[in-house]
Amino acid sequence: EAGVVQSPRYKIIEKKQPVAFWCNPISGHNTLYWYLQNLGQGPELLIRYENEEAVDDSQLPKDRFSAERLKGVDSTLKIQPAELGDSAVYLCASSRRDGEETQYFGPGTRLLVL
Amino acid sequence: DQQVKQNSPSLSVQEGRISILNCDYTNSMFDYFLWYKKYPAEGPTFLISISSIKDKNEDGRFTVFLNKSAKHLSLHIVPSQPGDSAVYFCAASATTQGGSEKLVFGKGTKLTVNP
């Protein structure tokens, strides 16, 4: 079974530029999560999708961050414009359904904003 | 306010000995706990979990113990191997009527197993 796929693995941009991350969850997993991980910290949830519906986006900074999961499978997380403080690892995870506690993570996208 | 705390940033043990990683939590609503292992430049990998209805769960060399009264859990690795060297994250969630709440992670403990 293929794991969670994320791209790109690394991204370097200048501040004020836009950036997008893509995630393909494990096949059959209805719930998809985006996490932010800063250096020396544990992952923190940004947004959680149940199929195509965002069921928890309370931690997503909506002034510059947006996400979509149009067909309930792949998802895209966008930052526009990026700020220096956005430099971090962005992790995508999936689980079979909401209430299935075990989440499986992708390798992450490491973002550096200069 | 950190709801899940891993107070030891690092731990070093000899190969073949026991590794004990500790985790404390403050939210009494948490009822499901997980341990993830993370290698550099990779995402966290699920290791083992435990429900609050149990006080122990074992999977091969890995055992998780839960002490609900103390709001404490620990991960035991016996025997430790050099390949176990990684950062270990403790995570917790609370189950509500609508399903599982988000996972809350600790800051991680870096385990080094010396040959």
What backbone torsions phi and psi does residue B82 show, to the nearest 5 degrees? -55, -35
Total Cβ atoms within 10 A of residue B63: 18
Total Cβ atoms within 10 A of residue B12: 11
Q: Which tokens is B87 given? A: 């950062």
Classify B70 as helix, strand or coil.
coil
The H or E element containing residue A38 is none
Decide if pLDDT at B89 tops 70.
yes
Residue-wise pLDDT for A34-81, tens only, equals 999 999 999 999 999 989 999 889 899 999 999 999 888 999 999 999
Residue-wise pLDDT for B44-53, tens only, equals 999 999 999 9
Please report where in the chains the tokens 């091969």 appear, as a residue: B60
Mean pLDDT over B81-91 rounds to 97
Helices (H) and strands (E) counted in chain A, each on its own, are 0, 11
Share of chain B above pLDDT 90, in %: 86
Taking any CB pair shorter than 8 Å as contact, residues of chain B touching chain A are 4, 32, 34, 36, 41-46, 49, 89, 91, 93, 95, 98-100, 102-103, 105-108
